[in-house]
C-alpha cells in the first residue's frame, strides 16, 4: 500500500518582515515535507490591516532563503501569480492569499450558521479585537461567559438591537461578531513534540469568535478552512500557538459534521485533520521570543549587512539539531522522520559573526 502524500504549507503572516524565528519555523515545515517527497504550498495570511504592503518582502525573503513551493490544485480560490506581487517571482508557482478567499469563508460560515453552530454576539471583549491574528498566551483573558448564546434569533436581530442601542448612546453601530458554540467534552489531539493534549474549551476560552464585528474572519476560522480546502496534511508552526490548537480542532469538527465538499470548493470536509507539530521558539538574548520590531534579527537586515543565506541556513540547521550545513539538499537528506527537540534556542547576533 502506498503511503499518503504529505502536503505541507508555508503560511507566513506579513505583519512585518520575516525574522530568524519565522525563518526557522518555515525551514522546519519545508524540510519536513520535502524529506517525505511531499508538496509544499505557499499561503500568505494577509487578513490583518497593512499586510498588503509586506507581501513582496515576504516573497523576497523566502526566495533569498532558498525555499521553494509547489502549485496549488487547479481552481484554488485566492491563487495569484506571484509575479504580480514581486517581479523576481514571475514564473514561479501560484501563491494563495487569504484576502482573496472571502467567498470560501462566507460559504462555510453560512453553513455553520444554518446548522446552529454559530451565533451572533454584540459583546465588546478583547478577544474580538484580537481574533483576526494568531493568538499568543499573553493575549488570553477570562473565558467568554456565553452572554449572547441564545440571546438573538439570528444575525439580523442582533444587528438591529445593537444599532438601536448605539443610537440611544450616541455612537456609531458596531455590528455583531459570530461565535462558535464550543463542545462541553474535552477536545483531544496529539502534537508530535508535546504529545497528547486535552482541553475543555468552556473553561479555557468559552465560545470564541470566528468572524469579527467588522466582517473580517478570525485566524481560528480562516486557517482551518484553508488547510482543509487545500488538502494540508501537516501543520508545523511555533509552539506559542499550541494553546489555541484545541479551538481549531473544534472548528475542524464542526465543519466535518455540517459542511460538504461544495462548501470547501471540492475538498472533503471529513478528511483527516493534519498532524500538529509546534516547534520551540527562537529567543533573544533577553530570554523573550523574537519580535518583528527587532530589526537586528530581520532576514532582510542580515542580508543587507552581508550575511549570506547559506550562513543563516547553517545557524538554523544547528539550532534544529541538523548537520552544520547551509546546503538544503544536505538538510533534506539528514531530516529525521519526526522531531523531539522541545527546548527553545537563544540567538545572539554574534552567532552569525
**Cα separation values, 71 from 30, 101, 224, 252, Å:** 14, 17, 20, 24
Q: Dihedral sign for Cα 58, 64, 68, 73, please.
A: positive
Angle (CA) 131-208-44 rounded to 5° is 35
Residues 83 and 71: their CA atoms lie apart, in Å, by 14
How many other CB atoms sit within 10 Å of the CB of residue 2?
A: 4
Nearest CA among 313, 306, 316 for reference residue 353: 306
Residues 267 and 271: their CA atoms lie apart, in Å, by 8
Pairing status of strand 195-199 against strand 209-211: unpaired
pLDDT of residue 179: 97
Nearest CA among 7, 348, 288 for reference residue 136: 288
64 contacts 303 by C-beta, under 8 angstroms: yes
Residues 193 and 236: their CA atoms lie apart, in Å, by 11
- Alpha-helical regions (H) of the chain: 20-35, 55-65, 102-114, 126-130, 155-169, 201-204, 219-229, 245-258, 299-304, 309-319, 328-334
Q: What is the grid cell recorded at 120? A: 451572533
Residues 279 and 186: their CA atoms lie apart, in Å, by 23
pLDDT of residue 127: 41
Q: What is the grid cell recorded at 313? A: 541556513
How many other CB atoms sit within 10 Å of the CB of residue 222?
A: 24
pTM given for the model: 0.91
All domains of the chain in start order, with CATH? 7-100+280-352 (3.40.50.620), 102-278 (3.40.50.620)
Pairing status of strand 39-44 against strand 95-97: parallel
What values do phi and psi take at 309, rounded to 5? Answer: -60, -35
| End-to-end Cα, the chain, rounded Å | 49
pLDDT in tens, the chain (353 residues): 456 799 999 999 877 678 899 999 999 999 999 999 999 999 999 987 767 778 999 999 999 999 999 999 999 999 999 999 999 999 999 999 999 999 999 999 999 999 999 999 999 755 445 555 556 555 566 899 899 999 999 999 999 999 999 999 898 998 999 999 999 999 999 999 999 999 999 999 999 999 999 999 999 999 999 999 999 999 999 999 999 999 999 999 999 999 999 999 999 999 999 999 999 988 887 777 776 556 558 888 889 889 999 999 999 998 898 888 999 999 999 998 555 567 888 888 777 86
278 contacts 194 by C-beta, under 8 angstroms: yes
Amino acid at each position: 500500500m502506498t503511503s499518503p502524500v504529505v502536503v505541507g504549507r508555508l503560511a507566513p503572516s506579513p505583519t512585518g518582515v520575516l525574522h530568524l524565528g519565522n525563518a526557522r519555523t518555515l525551514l522546519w515545515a519545508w524540510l519536513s515535507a520535502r524529506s517525505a517527497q511531499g508538496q509544499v504550498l505557499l499561503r500568505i495570511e494577509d487578513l490583518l490591516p497593512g499586510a498588503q504592503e509586506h507581501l513582496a518582502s515576504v516573497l523576497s525573503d523566502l526566495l533569498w532563503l532558498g525555499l521553494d513551493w509547489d502549485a496549488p490544485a487547479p481552481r484554488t480560490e485566492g491563487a495569484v501569480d506571484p509575479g504580480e506581487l514581486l517581479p523576481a517571482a514571475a514564473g514561479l508557482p501560484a501563491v494563495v492569499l487569504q484576502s482573496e478567499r472571502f467567498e470560501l469563508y462566507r460559504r462555510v460560515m453560512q453553513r455553520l450558521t444554518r446548522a446552529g453552530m454559530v451565533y451572533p454576539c454584540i459583546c465588546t471583549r478583547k478577544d474580538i479585537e484580537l481574533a483576526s491574528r494568531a493568538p499568543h498566551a499573553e493575549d488570553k483573558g477570562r473565558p467568554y461567559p456565553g452572554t449572547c448564546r441564545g440571546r438573538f434569533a439570528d444575525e439580523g436581530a442582533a444587528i438591529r438591537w445593537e444599532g438601536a442601542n448605539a443610537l440611544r448612546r450616541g455612537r456609531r453601530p458596531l455590528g455583531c461578531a459570530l461565535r462558535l458554540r464550543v463542545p462541553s467534552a474535552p477536545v483531544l489531539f496529539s502534537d508530535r513534540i508535546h504529545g497528547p493534549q486535552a482541553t475543555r474549551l468552556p473553561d479555557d476560552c468559552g465560545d470564541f469568535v470566528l468572524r469579527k464585528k467588522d466582517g473580517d474572519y478570525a485566524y481560528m476560522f480562516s486557517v482551518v478552512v484553508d488547510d482543509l480546502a487545500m488538502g494540508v496534511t501537516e501543520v508545523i508552526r511555533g509552539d506559542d500557538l499550541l494553546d489555541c490548537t484545541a479551538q481549531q480542532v473544534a472548528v475542524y469538527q464542526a465543519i466535518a459534521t455540517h459542511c460538504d465538499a461544495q462548501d470547501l470548493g471540492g475538498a472533503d470536509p471529513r478528511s483527516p485533520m493534519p498532524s500538529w507539530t509546534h516547534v520551540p521558539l527562537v529567543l533573544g538574548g533577553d530570554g523573550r521570543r523574537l519580535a518583528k520590531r527587532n530589526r537586528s534579527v530581520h532576514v532582510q537586515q542580515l542580508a543587507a549587512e552581508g550575511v549570506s543565506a547559506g550562513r543563516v541556513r547553517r545557524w538554523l540547521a544547528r539550532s534544529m539539531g541538523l548537520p552544520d550545513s547551509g546546503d538544503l539538499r544536505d538538510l533534506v537528506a539528514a531530516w529525521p522522520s519526526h522531531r523531539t527537540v522541545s527546548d527553545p534556542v537563544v540567538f545572539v547576533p554574534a552567532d552569525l559573526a
